[in-house]
Amino acid sequence: NAGVTQTPKFRVLKTGQSMTLLCAQDMNHEYMYWYRQDPGMGLRLIHYSVGEGTTAKGEVPDGYNVSRLKKQNFLLGLESAAPSQTSVYFCASTPRQGVADTQYFGPGTRLTVL
């Protein structure tokens, strides 16, 4: 049981390039989330998904797209990377959307946009 995994761990992009971050969970969780973490800002929600085939915007969605074609995978895409998207990206999942449910986090992807 690997929990929540993220691919890749590190990436450097040039401005305007595109890339996709992959989040995978093997816990059969319904809900998945993408956050970004910036110094002094805590974690901010980018997009989330309440089930296979559904996605919704979070707090800071601009410049990102997501897809949840399979229950276990949640992809975060950057179509045209900008330096402001330099950040550490975390994926998380919960079994359901209960108010007290714990979110399980992946190890993060450190992205640098030059």
Answer for the pair 107, 91: CB distance below 8 angstroms, yes or no. no
- Which two three-digit tokens encode residue 4? 């929540």
Which residues, numbered 73-102, are part of the site for other proteins (CB under 8 A)? 90, 92, 97-102
Answer for the pair 103, 93: CB distance below 8 angstroms, yes or no. yes
SS3 of residue 85 by DSSP:
helix
* Interface residue with other proteins, options 48, 64, 78, 81 (CB under 8 A): 48
Smallest distance, other proteins to C-beta of residue 17, A: 25
Q: Which of 103, 109, 111 is nearest to 22 (CA)?
A: 109
Here's the x/- map for other proteins, 5-44, by CB under 8 A: it reads as --------------------------x-x------xxxxx
Give the span between the Cα atoms of 6 and 73, in whole angstroms. 10
Q: Considering beta carbons, is residue 7 or 102 the nearer one to other proteins?
A: 102
* Interface residue with other proteins, options 56, 70, 80, 114 (CB under 8 A): 56
Smallest distance, other proteins to C-beta of residue 97, A: 5
Q: Does 105 bind other proteins (CB under 8 A)?
A: yes
Smallest distance, other proteins to C-beta of residue 50, A: 6
Identity at 93, one-letter amino acid code: S
SS3 of residue 83 by DSSP:
helix
